[in-house]
Copies of this chain bind each other. A is one copy, B any other.
Amino acid sequence: MRLLVANRGEIALRIFRACRDMGIETVAVFSDADRKAPHVAMADYAVRLGPPPARESYLNVPAILEAARKTKASLIHPGYGFLAENAGFARACAAAELTFVGPSPDAIEAMGSKTGSRRMMEAAGVPVVPGTTKPAADASELKAFARKAGYPILLKAAAGGGGKGMRRVDSEGDLDAAFARASSEAKAFFNDGAVYAEKLVEGPRHIEVQVVADSRGRRIAVGERECSLQRRHQKVVEECPSPVVDEDLRERLCSAAVAAAAAVDYVSCGTVEFLLAPDGSFYFLEMNTRLQVEHPVTEEVYGVDLAAEMIAIALGEPLSWSEGDLRRLGHAIECRIYAEDPRRDFAPSPGTITSLRLPAGPGVRHDIGVEQGSTVPIDYDPMLGKLVVWGPDRSWAIRRLARVLSEYEIAGVETALPLFRRLCRDADFLSGKFDVQWLERRLAAGLLDGSEASPEDVLLAAAALSDEKAPAAAASSSAPASLWRASGRRESLRGGPR
């Protein structure tokens, strides 16, 4: 048996590893920017798709189907992003008699339309946030809704996900411009400019539930994940379990999630996202009809292999465990490592990774799509990979995370590693007191300030600069260090929406 992953980076490696564990051969596809990428080097087969731009490579459906035909692959896994959650692609796979590793096209479609899914959830009795019930033709429709629901509101790409194409609008004055850009970005990312609006619930947490359902009609929720630490609607750190979810709330969240999945006859791994309000009430946000970026924290705590389970389900296997078998052990935290500069407002930091040192020892897991010497192309999402740390309990996991981060080194591109280091010392984070806006407030309050050079740093620099025997030090890809102190400069860049 042979499985093709229509994706790149860490998620391609994750799925290939699941295949190896299951004795399934692997097929990689790649753009000209990725010929030397790790996911190609790990695969049993590899086929070129086209030039770097995603539309000509990882979104190029005919080329991907041809690659499957050429290598006699019988399974296709979309990973996340790119063609995941694209019903048309799922249908094209079925038409080509390929087993799509994921839910049915109808389920993808139903959940893919945020407005349609909202109506469906309301019907299924799953609570939803007030919002426009269909894509807005123009900004004026949104204004009407906003006047009723009141600002702030949130603009979302109807076909979107992962915060891409999302915009907060605080006043009517900004609405036209925001609508224009959100809609153009929606078109750019999802080839569908439809945008709708939602009332913004203030001070909520983002809690999601992992759902696994087989083709025999069994649906199980595998606990929740805490995903409130976000920046620009982009998850930064995820945990399992959530520090604020007790057994009772967990049960209610899980049954709501299973109900949501049942409403679309969901079969595969999927994730139901909820907003948890300070008063304990929660609202359906959306369902991600794919393997979630942060699935490893659930795997580490429940001792399951979601990636392998998803493939087994696609092959018609029954779930390998029942609700009763599931046992939670300890606490897991995932840090998303993006090639972006937290000290320049998270501006993308493409380049070549001149040095990569991964921590080892107990309780650490790496899902990473780059190696030392890898070049991070400007054409794709800048996530390099994920660091996952496990500990007997949450406080141990956080102490261990701090240790692991002290061993972690990436040079050549900037990453958010310094941010995670500071989180480990933050009282609110330690006590689990945060909502989805907390991280941005903390960043604005200077969470990242004060990385001034210590006397030890000066000694190290002096010893290195005066070492004639050393090969010429590789120049860092970053701008002059003196710029770092330039707050004016830092201000001068605003990262776009994520």
A residues in contact (CB < 8 Å) with B: 13-14, 17, 20-23, 42, 296, 299-300, 303-305, 307, 320, 327, 329-330, 358, 360-362, 364-368, 391-392, 396, 399-400, 402-403, 406-407
Contacts and interface: CB of A to CB of B under 8 A. Distances in A.
B305 A21 contact: no
Contacts of A364: 365
Which of A327, A362, A368 counts the most chain B CB atoms within 10 A? A362
A303 B392 contact: yes
Contacts of A305: 362, 392, 396
B303 A21 contact: no
A205 to B, nearest CB: 27
How many copies altogether?
2
Nearest to A388: B362
The 4 closest A-B pairs by CB, nearest first: A20-B403, A360-B366, A17-B361, A303-B329
A14 B299 CA distance: 24
Contacts of A14: 361-362
A21 B14 CA distance: 28
Given A327-B329, A329-B329, A403 B361 contact: no
Given A14-B361, A307-B362, A358-B358, 17 more contacts: A13-B360, A17-B362, A21-B391, A21-B396, A21-B399, A21-B403, A22-B399, A299-B362, A303-B329, A303-B392, A304-B392, A305-B396, A327-B327, A360-B365, A360-B366, A360-B368, A361-B367
A14 to B, nearest CB: 6
A403 B308 CA distance: 14
Contacts of A307: 362
Contacts of A327: 327, 329
B365 A362 contact: yes
A94 B51 CA distance: 69
B366 A20 contact: no
Contacts of A403: 17, 20-21
29 contacts: A14-B362, A17-B361, A20-B402, A20-B406, A21-B391, A21-B396, A21-B399, A21-B400, A21-B403, A22-B399, A42-B407, A296-B362, A299-B362, A300-B362, A303-B329, A303-B392, A304-B392, A305-B362, A305-B392, A327-B327, A327-B329, A329-B329, A360-B365, A360-B367, A361-B365, A361-B366, A361-B367, A362-B365, A362-B367
A327 to B, nearest CB: 7
Contacts of A358: 358, 360
Contacts of A22: 399
Contacts of A360: 13, 358, 365-368
Nearest to A372: B372
Contacts of A17: 361-362, 403
A396 B307 CA distance: 14
A402 B305 CA distance: 17
Given A327-B327, A360-B366, A361-B367, A399 B23 contact: yes
Nearest to A365: B362
A320 B307 CA distance: 34
A360 B357 CA distance: 13
Contacts of A399: 21-23
A26 to B, nearest CB: 11
A16 to B, nearest CB: 9
A457 to B, nearest CB: 16
Which of A21, A22, A364, A366 counts the most chain B CB atoms within 10 A? A21
Nearest to A402: B20
A41 to B, nearest CB: 10
Nearest to A364: B365
Nearest to A325: B392
A303 B366 CA distance: 19
A407 to B, nearest CB: 7
Contacts of A407: 42
